[in-house]
Structure 1
């Protein structure tokens, strides 16, 4: 793992995107760095609303070995709307993720003051500019499936050549190195309309991700496509991929350590008969007709 050898005196700064779904995995990653001998780990938390610090305070109290640094961003200074404003209301953002991207971009000036070695969230691509300016190495922490990373790295090679949006070719099999074919309808909803603001923003993020020194992925297996670098355009190598998972929050949400009843049920099921779906904080399940 980069920057995590025994008895190292380096400080690692972890920079999550907004929301608990990004902050919680970063806390688990911080614990891994500390167990591997990193002297200090700082989690830089962007906060637009200074009155809501409950989550950060709770995590800081439960993890005294981790330093939490708040990057307070006033809504007026950031030129961003208050939390909860949806992008489809016509006032500012066309999609909720667009607000997140704007907030994180506006946080760059406050981020410059505390960087030593930077590990950033997949939505924080604009922080690469800060890392480059200060000459510090930046790594992406990728908590989604490794196949998703393979698709994202290859999207800039495919999307400009697409003659129509994915929404217009729902049954067309799209081919990405290292993963099975994916139908257009099964691509992320944010990428369905190639002319939308969110699709353009996501494609910009995908194109910038290879600028990082490497990827820390919350998994224990990795794809031959990433190993060989075939996800990237010819002549451009894929940054190193470090599989550091699985990182999970120990115990039950209620704080008890007993084994959850769902695991007993899971143990009783036939091998390879259960599909686990993790929607994140904004995901929805859509069932398409076969």
Structure 2
């Protein structure tokens, strides 16, 4: 035993400034506080203000006196800068943002160290797209852990990306998965991370963005460990490949189910909202008046941008299907338009933002038309709601492929946007998907439930993470 007193664990959590990233890492902060680990949650000034404005973060974390604090730093852009849809920084300028944030991060950690009223930071859990924080941690001799908020399947695809060859045939086999030969599962070129393809209507897509994602993926290996919000039994072939390149991998998903279990156990009725948009909870009242499994929920996340033509085709396909629907129509969803009157109708209910986890868990919801973001996918699988996947960029094409072809819990509708296909797909999924889809969604939802309780793989990995954080 060292003469020096062992330092209490104090984790600084630093997400990439995007809604999906903040959502997962804030949930992780809650879980660590439940485990008596002090947490400082570091956000950009812009997103910190939005969290305070639109969420109950203050009251939620008031349950952990002395264990949770906020901090914020500049993202390098002036406060009046018109952030793109979803409030991400300009992704093509991320490296500039990182160079600006790096000295601020270093100074913040030093200031905490010099503050007699606070414990020094013992570990940085940084977003895997913010790996400059690993360099800061190394300089200050602090443990660092990278957290990637994408699926293991997509993370592995990024690791393999330098080996891909350019080819215009999008249906050509591009990537096999070791250990999955019996399932005959593979990725086509059209299933690769969306940054590898050009989408004229989406200004976030560029070669520099792809290069950044690949670079940061490999840089993540410089941390002492990697956290993924996934389930061992769901993505074991991908995790096995990732573990050949990383010292330690914690598979601790789904985080939202973990947090829900803890709140239930402690009889905590606090609503979990980690978003940067104001929720319209009137949609829950509307859902209460609908028959069971009669509503199609439609949401394309916080950054997807549609053309007016795409919106029209999706809309008419839904209307022609004959089913009721709840559509999230956030500002900025349609390229070049702030508003559109196309989404109307007596069978539909439209909100700017919805409490998605509660919506997917509602008895009235029978299917989810989604952009296949990882948070949305996890929440849908946990609720046993089948998906109609219409991916747009980043990890979404990868996820839609495994949802449709590997896990059989939805239909991959990528690269198709015509009303007849939308109508046919909605009817198929709402009609039960031939029976197999219903069985698969129930089995995976059960797998999720088992993973986050004592004895489950995610529960065990989380306990290992807590133990390692406390060991210093």
Structure-1 separation of matches of 2:250 and 2:388: 23
User: Structure 1 residue 35: deviation in Å?
Assistant: 1.7
User: Are residues 240 and 46 of structure 1, via their aligned partners in 2, closer, same or farther at CA, if it must alter by over 3 Å?
Assistant: same
Q: Distance in 2 between matches of 1:42 and 1:279?
A: 34
Q: Which residue of 2 aligns with 1:171?
A: 171
C-alpha contact (below 8 Å) 2:173/2:187 kept by paired residues: yes
Question: Match of 1:125?
Answer: 131
Structure 1 portions without partners, runs of 5+: 1-6, 87-94
Structure 1 residue 147 corresponds to structure 2 residue 153: yes
Match of 2:251 among 243, 253, 258: 243
1:200 — aligned with what? 211
1:107 matches 2:101: yes
Match of 1:216 in 2: 227
What residue number does 1:55 align with? 51
**Secondary structure at the residue paired with 1:98?**
helix
Aligned to 1:16: 15
In the other structure, the counterpart of 1:33 is 32
Pairwise CA distance, 1:11: 0.2
* SS of alignment partner, residue 152 of structure 1: helix
Change (3 A) 1:196 1:144: closer
Aligned 8 A contact 1:150 1:177 in 2: no
Specify the SS of the correspondent of 2:81.
Answer: coil
Residue aligned with 2:44, SS = strand
The CA deviation at 1:28 is 0.7
Going from structure 1 to structure 2, the CA distance change for 1:174 and 1:8 (only over 3 Å counts) comes to: farther
Q: Does 1:275 pair with 2:275?
A: no
Structure showing greater Rg:
2
Task: Work out whether residues 177 and 186 of structure 2, in 8 Å CA contact, stay in contact via their aligned partners in 1.
Answer: no
- Matched position secondary structure for 1:175: strand
CA contact 1:216–1:244 (8 Å) conserved in 2: yes
Give the structure-2-normalised TM-score: 0.46
Q: 1:56 to 1:280 in 2, by over 3 A?
A: farther
CA apart distance, 1:152:
2.2
Secondary structure of 1:14's partner? strand
Instruction: Check the 8 A contact 1:153/1:210 in 2, yes or no.
Output: no
Count of residue pairs the alignment pairs up = 259
Q: Is the 8 A contact 2:175 2:186 kept in 1?
A: yes
Deviation at 1:75, TM superposition (A): 3.1
Using the size of structure 1 for normalisation, the TM-score is 0.71
Q: Does the 8 A contact of 2:226 with 2:246 survive in 1? A: no
Q: Is the alpha carbon distance of 1:284 and 1:219 closer, same or farther for their aligned partners in structure 2, counting shifts above 3 Å?
A: closer
Q: Distance in 2 between matches of 1:245 and 1:231?
A: 16
Alpha-carbon offset, residue 264 of structure 1: 1.6
For the residues of structure 1 that align with 2:57 and 2:359, how far apart are their CA atoms? 29
1:288 and 2:284 equivalent?
A: no
User: Are the counterparts in 2 of residues 191 and 202 from structure 1 also a CA contact under 8 Å?
Assistant: no
**What is the RMSD computed on CA atoms of the aligned residues?**
4.2
- The whole-number CA distance in structure 2 between the counterparts of 1:198 and 1:221 is 29
Q: Distance in 2 between matches of 1:214 and 1:278?
A: 33
- Which residue of structure 2 lines up, in the alignment, with residue 264 of structure 1? 363
Asked if structure 1 preserves the Cα contact closer than 8 Å seen for 2:145 and 2:227, the reply is yes
What SS is found at the alignment partner of 2:131? coil
Structure 1 or 2: larger helix share? 2
Q: In structure 2, do the counterparts of structure 1 residues 273 and 244 end up closer, same or farther at CA, with 3 Å as the change threshold?
A: closer
8 A Cα contact 2:391 2:414, kept in partner? no
Deviation at 1:202, TM superposition (A): 1.9
Distance 1:276 1:133, change over 3 A: farther
CA contact (8 A) 1:226 1:238 kept: no
- Which residue in the other structure is 1:3 paired with? none
Secondary structure, counterpart of 2:232 in structure 1 = coil
**Structure 2 stretches lacking a partner, 5+ long:** 1-5, 110-120, 199-204, 261-270, 273-278, 289-357, 368-382, 398-412, 422-472
- Displacement, 1:277? 5.2
Distance change (3 Å), C-alpha of 1:221 and 1:274: same
Task: Name the structure 1 match of 2:69.
Answer: 67
Counterpart-to-counterpart distance in 1, 2:230 and 2:189: 26
2:469 maps to what in 1? Answer: none
